[in-house]
């Protein structure tokens, strides 16, 4: 069955792979599921046709026959449940991998998003210089706990799973901050994720969209 996802016509990150469609592309590449991409403009994202797919007017969405899904976490979980390769077979290990997916999105990502908000949305505010260290310290609390859990292991809980796909994707947002380098085992963990052939294909695919849209703008 054809799988269609949506992605930014012009990603705000300029093709650095931080838009959330990269996470879904990565999951689809890991399981070997071909997919099509429909690009949406910022304007189209807020129009009724897209809002019917995604009530919060974001990307990515996922369509497969008469199933339509939104929310990256839910899409990756759906892909992981319906293909081999992204979740362990053992029921308990599977439940734990799902717990780590939620942890990536609900415990680790929120302070990281705060940093993006502080820098981008509030970058011109008089308080931002003084406030940034507080935001960064809240991220350090989570990174310290994650680093302590990971220790010398390659992945969060046994073999690579959708949990690692999500956690690595979340941590990648920190690359430009330098924070990741304060935790060498986390930096190595992220590098292991990026080294996976499926990640490389996903990254290249999102970059190609960006390169094409840059060209058309020139």
Is 200 near a second copy (CB under 8 A)? Answer: no
Is 42 near a second copy (CB under 8 A)? Answer: no
Please pick, from the candidates 10, 13, 44, 57, the single residue that binds a second copy as defined by CB under 8 A: 57
Q: Which residues of 101-127 are buried (b: 16+ CB within 10 A; e: fewer)?
A: bebbbeebbebbebbbebeeeeeeeee
Kindly state the tokens that stand for 48. 């009724």
Matching residue, tokens 């892909």: 79
Instruction: Please report, for the chain, how many H helices and E strands are present, in that order.
Output: 10, 4
CB of 124 to a second copy, least distance (A): 12
Residues 146-165 touching a second copy, rule: CB under 8 A, are 146, 148-149
CB of 131 to a second copy, least distance (A): 7
- Closest CB to a second copy among 126 and 197? 126
DSSP 80-113: HHHSTTSS-SSHHHHHHHHHHHHHIIIIIHHHHH
CB of 139 to a second copy, least distance (A): 12
- Indicate the burial class of 2 (C-beta count within 10 angstroms; 0-12, 13-18, 19 or more): exposed
β-partners of residue 37 are: 5
- Closest CB to a second copy among 89 and 218? 89
Is 85 near a second copy (CB under 8 A)? Answer: no
Is 126 near a second copy (CB under 8 A)? Answer: yes
Q: Which stretch binds a second copy (CB under 8 A): 24-32, 55-63, 173-181, 207-215?
A: 55-63
Kindly state the tokens that stand for 145. 């706990």
Binding residues for a second copy (CB under 8 A): 51, 55-58, 66-75, 77-78, 92, 95-96, 98-103, 105-107, 109-110, 113-114, 117, 121-122, 125-127, 130-131, 134, 138, 142, 145-146, 148-149
């Amino acid at each position: 069955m054809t799988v269609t996802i949506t992605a930014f016509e012009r990603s705000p990150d300029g093709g650095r792979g931080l838009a959330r469609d990269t996470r879904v592309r990565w999951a689809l590449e890991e399981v070997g599921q071909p997919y099509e991409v429909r690009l949406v403009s910022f304007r189209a994202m807020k129009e009724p046709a897209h809002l019917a797919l995604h009530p919060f007017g974001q990307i990515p969405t996922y369509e497969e026959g008469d199933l339509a899904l939104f929310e990256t976490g839910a899409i990756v979980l759906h892909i992981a449940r319906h293909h081999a390769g992204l979740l362990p077979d053992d029921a308990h290990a599977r439940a734990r991998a799902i717990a780590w997916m939620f942890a990536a999105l609900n415990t680790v990502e929120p302070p990281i998003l705060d940093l993006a908000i502080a820098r981008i949305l509030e970058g011109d505010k008089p308080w931002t210089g003084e406030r940034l260290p507080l935001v960064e310290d809240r991220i350090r609390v989570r990174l310290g706990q994650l680093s302590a859990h990971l220790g010398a292991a390659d992945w969060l809980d046994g073999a690579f799973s959708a949990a690692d796909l999500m956690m690595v994707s979340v941590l990648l947002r920190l690359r430009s901050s330098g924070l990741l380098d304060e935790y060498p085992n986390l930096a190595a963990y992220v590098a292991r994720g990026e080294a996976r052939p499926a990640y490389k294909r996903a990254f290249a695919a999102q970059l190609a969209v960006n390169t094409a849209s840059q060209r058309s703008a020139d």
